[in-house]
Amino acid sequence: RAYSLVDSSQVSTFLISILLIVYGSFRSLNMDFENQDKEKDSSSTAGSFNGNSTNNSIQTIDSTQALFLPIGASVSLLVMFFFFDSVQVVFTICTAVLATIAFAFLLLPMCQYLTRPCSPQNKISFGCCGRFTAAELLSFSLSVMLVLIWVLTGHWLLMDALAMGLCVAMIAFVRLPSLKVSCLLLSGLLIYDVFWVFFSAYIFNSNVMVKVATQPADNPLDVLSRKLHLGPNVGRDVPRLSLPGKLVFPSSTGSHFSMLGIGDIVMPGLLLCFVLRYDNYKKQANSDSCGAPGPGNISGRMQKVSYFHCTLIGYFVGLLTATVASRIHRAAQPALLYLVPFTLLPLLTMAYLKGDLRRMWSEPFHSKSSSSRFLEV
């Protein structure tokens, strides 16, 4: 059974999910630095920098979106549950396109490193398609090749690679502006996860979440060959595709797979990204104020503990708890039921002890100085 054992597959899930969160968070922070540099180069006007004004690809979630996202996710889940046979091909194609773009984003730093010695960073024009560097073209070509191989083979390792790209891209391009929005979003998704895993069977006579997550889709090549009547041997030997909405790792014996949905990586990852940006903001603020000490009611050692490390440890403990619970109950568990308390509660406690809770709750990146160099989201 997919959730029955704690072995090498579970260890792989732990390590990969943590690496994806850390990498995605630092990619997001690096994008902020690049946007700040572009803002300085393009304008000499003093003032704080709003990331959304220069990079339209970055999406900041507000309170309304945080409240309605679980509802939208529930509607999408029901559509996939009731009409999967009708929309599976369209959904597979859309997922493949998104995975191609996301995996190209994941490969871009490596391609930039490889092409830097032998190719200038000048952009090549492709007419109405836009202008791209050699590194961007290389990463996109490799991503298209991997997606095509995945469609032809359906191998779980290629599916995991695409899922990793989706995780990193979503963590890097989606932002939580405050702790209030973070709590609204994660609390709503916790209720969503618990309901669809534990209580959906009483209403729909089936575990909706597990069925949608594990149901394979028809291969588009097979559907295309049948529509065009290309013959029984053309495109009919391709496998059905398990969509990259999750990470799967086989056990050492190959008897079962460990599975973790990308939502259980991305949503806590957005919180980790938020606290990493706040740690960096606070570090720069303290350096500008000549190392002013923190509140007098907390020790200097506690002040040195970053919110990022505290929340990351909480994520690991929550993931471990979810795994132990799945082994005890021999059934799928809503991972957010464990991840949300183990990440939010230590963060809220530390923010209160450090005296940062009020600021992190509403306007964590607001600077009173007109000459501030920091992000304002």
Active site residues: 193, 264
Point out which residues pair with 332 in neighbouring strands: none
**Is the Cα dihedral 6, 8, 10, 11 positive or negative?**
positive
* CA 81 remoteness from chain centre: 23
Count, in order, helices (H) and strands (E) of the chain: 15, 6
CB 169 within 8 A of CB 106: yes
Q: Using the 8-state DSSP alphabet, how is residue 246 labeled? A: E
> Which of 229, 216, 183, 226 is closest to 92 using CA atoms?
216
262 CB-contact burial (10 Å; exposed 0-12 / middle 13-18 / buried 19+): buried
The span from the first CA to the last CA of the chain, in angstroms, equals: 44
